[in-house]
Structure 1
Amino acid sequence: MHLQLGLPVDGDAVTGSVHSADWGAVCYELLSAIPDNINGGRIEMGWLRDTFPELDDDSTELEKNRYARAYILQIIGGYMMPDLSRNLVHLRWLLKVVDFRAAGEFSWGSAVLETLYREMCRATRPNKAKIRGCLSLLQSWARFRFPFLRPRVDHPYTVPLITSYARLPTCLEDIRLLLEQRSEAQFQWTPYEDLAIRAVILDEYLQNPNAWHVKIPLVNFAIGEMHQSDRVLRKFRFRQLIPVAPEMLDDHHKIDLRQLHTDWPRFWSHYIQMWKDRYDYIPTREPIIVPELACVPEYMPWFRIHGKPYLLSEEERQWQLRVQRERRGPLNPRRRDDDAGPSTAPTQSPGPAIGPTQSPGPTVQPSTPTAQPLQMMPAVARGIAGGAVRELFFLPIPITLWVSNISAINDANTSTVTILSRRVILLTLITRILAGASTTPARSWTKEESNA
């Protein structure tokens, strides 16, 4: 979360009580406008775009603050934590940006991460066809750790690292087979150790890595999810020990914002206290001396019994491998009836296996967008330049945000703005924003990718 999105993780839990909120009054006080339709505390982002299209050069400080809040709502609802509608955002986030200085003290990274955790869990249900959350983060995570899923490119890395992702295979069968045909050595546990990546990471990002290692529940209003760092110690360059049984929070998955009268800080009081004492919950860590000793000797026998080394069952795996041999190479086998005739599905040649070496960086795959871009950048840029959000923590994102496309990532060389940070935006970055650089929208996710 810190390196991929540039979001802070070492801060207060993002939660609060919303059951007594008068959302119309909240909108009027903080935005000076009230939408015609407020559905369960949610408003349409189209209304935000229409109501706050652009700031005048002579706008007051109060007007700049209102425009900045409207833009932040669109970032949260359209990119960081979108819902299934792709066009609604909950006004509870507006309560977190009343004071921009206080907004910079929250752990926005953990809020985005646990939202994605919850949605990935729900997406495993057979009847689920959609998934919400920051899916571009999931895609970028895979891009850095599975080098065989991306093409070799010559594009420099940039921070945040999520702007450096490449297009992945879109067929679920392809991805499963590619993953199962690769050995453990082709998974990159520590991709950020690559010298090309470290060269663009500021030292301040690495000052407190202990915040990444804590094993505690994450809390975000109605969401509570475990951060099981002890199961992936190798990503932090520590030997993998046999983890203790994870604390299961499955019962909490039934909890959501429809429980209107719940006082969330009180409901999660135990977990929130654990979060405050998070540095007391760092798992045992032993540095890796040599790669051959990355795990304790007892770990792999334990994993073979309790782990899930394959995505498919033994029968399904053998069937796919048999089909692959019959077709002499394609990685996109399609299940079909015996009398259905030859498959017309597109195939993909496996090509030579790529080792764990890091490529210089990928290029963005452009496509035709399906939504109207967010046209607020000049207004918000002037607001930032005028000091409206001087104390706000900034997330670097593309200046054109396709609010209904959760995986829209633009070219890393375009100018960016940042929200939700404790640091003042750089004057040079403001100059680039005000100059108005062009952007190239990325493609949309397909239904197959969402299911994957």
Structure 2
Amino acid sequence: MATQVGSKSICGCLTLLQAWIYEYFPLFRPSQILQAPDAPRASSWVCHRFAGGDDARQRLVRYRQMLDEMSGEDVSWTPYGRDAGTELLRSLYTGVIRFADVAEGYDPARCRRQFGYRQTIPRTMMVPKDVYRPASYSTYIVFWEGSMDQLWGNLPSHFLHIAIDSDLCEYPSEADEDYMDWYRTRSHPRIINPDSGGVSLQRPVLVDEVSYVIIVQFLMYC
């Protein structure tokens, strides 16, 4: 919804969104400091506030150009390690996650590559049973099927089913042959109108992910 022309704001935890961007897209990362292994990952990023005006608009155009020119090599597909699915087993849960009066659908099949597995066309998105917003409310009230609302209480029965050996990626961005065709019909391949042209940008050389993890671990414990 935030990408719609008429949208003037975005809801949710923007700090979490910003940290997610830094983890997966090295091109947009600020400087980083070493943290203890049990420290919050988001606290390692050193961010700076930028001024507005013309400089902000120029940065916006540049970021859009960078996004349009990105390839699979510009994405850190497994920032939490190639074994995230086994080390963080709960991340393979598929169903509805509830906290207090908020419930959201969660489906790891839509991002299999971040667990080190080949991406396939995911199933249809989970949708709530009913959604409405009373006139006196500023937020929507969402209802899920009773069975879906209880899935989190029985985790082992609702994990993503993966053939561990055959589904492993041979390279981080691997996907089924028909996945990209499916993806392009449901996404925005480009942000800038291609008829308006664009400036070719030089990409920095990315450090191999495995080597990066080894280097960071060495520096933290040496």
Q: Same fold, TM exceeding 0.5?
A: yes
Alignment of 1:31-430 (within 5 A): 121=1, 123-151=2-30, 153=31, 155-158=33-36, 159-167=39-47, 171-193=59-81, 209-249=88-128, 251-252=130-131, 254=133, 258=137, 269-286=146-163, 287-291=167-171, 294-304=174-184, 306-312=185-191, 316-321=193-198, 324=199, 350=201, 352-357=202-207
Structure 1 residues 154, 164: CA separation in 2 closer, same or farther (over 3 Å shift)? Answer: closer
Tell me the CA shift for residue 175 of structure 1: 2.4
Whole-Å Cα distance in 2 between the matches of residues 257 and 275 of structure 1? Answer: 31
In structure 1, stretches of 5+ residues that fail to align are: 1-120, 199-204, 330-349, 361-452
User: Which has the higher mean CA deviation after the structures are superposed, 179-188 or 279-288?
Assistant: 279-288
Tell me the CA shift for residue 293 of structure 1: 8.2
Query: Secondary structure, in 3 states, of the residue corresponding to 1:285?
Result: coil
2:215 maps to none
Structure 1 residues 253, 213: CA separation in 2 closer, same or farther (over 3 Å shift)? Answer: farther
Q: Is the 8 A contact 2:72 2:173 kept in 1?
A: no
Tell me the CA shift for residue 312 of structure 1: 2.5
* Residue identity opposite 1:180 in structure 2: D
Structure 1 residues 356, 179: CA separation in 2 closer, same or farther (over 3 Å shift)? Answer: same
Whole-Å Cα distance in 1 between the matches of residues 179 and 85 of structure 2? Answer: 29
Q: Is the 8 A contact 1:187 1:356 kept in 2?
A: no
Tell me the CA shift for residue 181 of structure 1: 0.9
User: Which has the higher mean CA deviation after the structures are superposed, 293-302 or 272-281?
Assistant: 293-302
* Residue identity opposite 1:274 in structure 2: L
Whole-Å Cα distance in 2 between the matches of residues 128 and 142 of structure 1? Answer: 21
Tell me the CA shift for residue 291 of structure 1: 1.1
Structure 1 residues 252, 192: CA separation in 2 closer, same or farther (over 3 Å shift)? Answer: same
Q: Which of the pair has more CA radius of gyration? A: 1
* Residue identity opposite 2:73 in structure 1: A
1:195-226 per-position Cα deviation (integer Å, ceiling 9, x unaligned)? xxx9xxxxxx9875221012212234443322
Whole-Å Cα distance in 2 between the matches of residues 131 and 146 of structure 1? Answer: 20
* Residue identity opposite 1:190 in structure 2: T
In structure 2, stretches of 5+ residues that fail to align are: 51-55, 213-222
Q: Is the 8 A contact 1:223 1:255 kept in 2?
A: no
Whole-Å Cα distance in 1 between the matches of residues 21 and 74 of structure 2? Answer: 12
Tell me the CA shift for residue 182 of structure 1: 1.2
Q: Is the 8 A contact 1:189 1:235 kept in 2?
A: yes
Tell me the CA shift for residue 130 of structure 1: 3.1
Kindly tell me the number of residue pairs found equivalent between the two proteins.
Answer: 196
* Residue identity opposite 2:177 in structure 1: P
Whole-Å Cα distance in 2 between the matches of residues 320 and 255 of structure 1? Answer: 46
Query: Cα RMSD over matched residues?
Result: 3.9
Q: Is the 8 A contact 2:33 2:45 kept in 1?
A: no
Whole-Å Cα distance in 1 between the matches of residues 41 and 24 of structure 2? Answer: 13
Query: Secondary structure, in 3 states, of the residue corresponding to 1:295?
Result: coil
Q: Normalising by structure 2, report the TM-score.
A: 0.68
Structure 1 residues 160, 252: CA separation in 2 closer, same or farther (over 3 Å shift)? Answer: same
Whole-Å Cα distance in 1 between the matches of residues 156 and 134 of structure 2? Answer: 27
Q: Is the 8 A contact 1:241 1:296 kept in 2?
A: yes
2:217 maps to none
Tell me the CA shift for residue 236 of structure 1: 0.6
* Residue identity opposite 2:103 in structure 1: G
* Residue identity opposite 2:71 in structure 1: S
Whole-Å Cα distance in 1 between the matches of residues 13 and 144 of structure 2? Answer: 26
Structure 1 residues 192, 290: CA separation in 2 closer, same or farther (over 3 Å shift)? Answer: same
Percent identity at matched positions? Answer: 21
Whole-Å Cα distance in 1 between the matches of residues 107 and 152 of structure 2? Answer: 14
Q: Normalising by structure 1, report the TM-score.
A: 0.37
Structure of higher RCO (CA pairs closer than 8 Å, 6+ residues apart)? 1
1:352-390 per-position Cα deviation (integer Å, ceiling 9, x unaligned)? 312432698xxxxxxxxxxxxxxxxxxxxxxxxxxxxxx
Alignment of 1:425-440 (within 5 A): none
* Residue identity opposite 1:163 in structure 2: S
Q: Is the 8 A contact 1:223 1:256 kept in 2?
A: no
